[in-house]
Structure 1
Amino acid sequence: MLKVAVFDEEHEKDLQTEINSFLKGISEEQLIDIKYTVSAACDPDGEQLYCFSALILYRK
């Protein structure tokens, strides 16, 4: 069965930690793909906001 896990963090190091923690729980054979994206926007005060996201496709 195919499954997905989605991770979304404000800081790239936090995303890295979450992904590494998840990957420890599955074998290399279960891992199919990892998709990564970064989004940036400005809030009304002009402060930049970042969103670091990843989707992991794996076999259960």
Structure 2
Amino acid sequence: MVQVKLFDYEHEKDLEWAVNRFLKNIDENDLIDIKYHIAAMKEDEDEQIYCFSAMIIYRD
């Protein structure tokens, strides 16, 4: 069965850590794809918010 796992963090290092931790628990042959996305939103004149997200598609 094909499954997805979604991750969403404000800091890229947090996303990297979470994705690597998840990947340690699945067989490399079950990995289908990883989709990566960055969004940036302006909160006010001096601050910008970032959203780093990933979707892992794998066989369970």
The number of equivalent residue pairs is 59
Return the TM-score normalized by structure 1: 0.95
The alignment yields a C-alpha RMSD, in angstroms, of 0.6
Q: What residue in structure 1 maps to residue 32 of structure 2?
A: 32
Deviant stretches of 4+, over 3 Å: none
Compare the two structures and name the one with the higher helix fraction.
Answer: 2
**Counterparts of 1:40 and 1:21 in 2: how far apart (Å)?**
25
Residue 52 of structure 1 is matched in structure 2 by: 52
- Which runs of 5 or more residues in structure 2 are unaligned? none
TM-score (structure 2 length as normaliser):
0.95
- Equivalent residue runs for 1:11-22 within 5 Å: 11-22=11-22
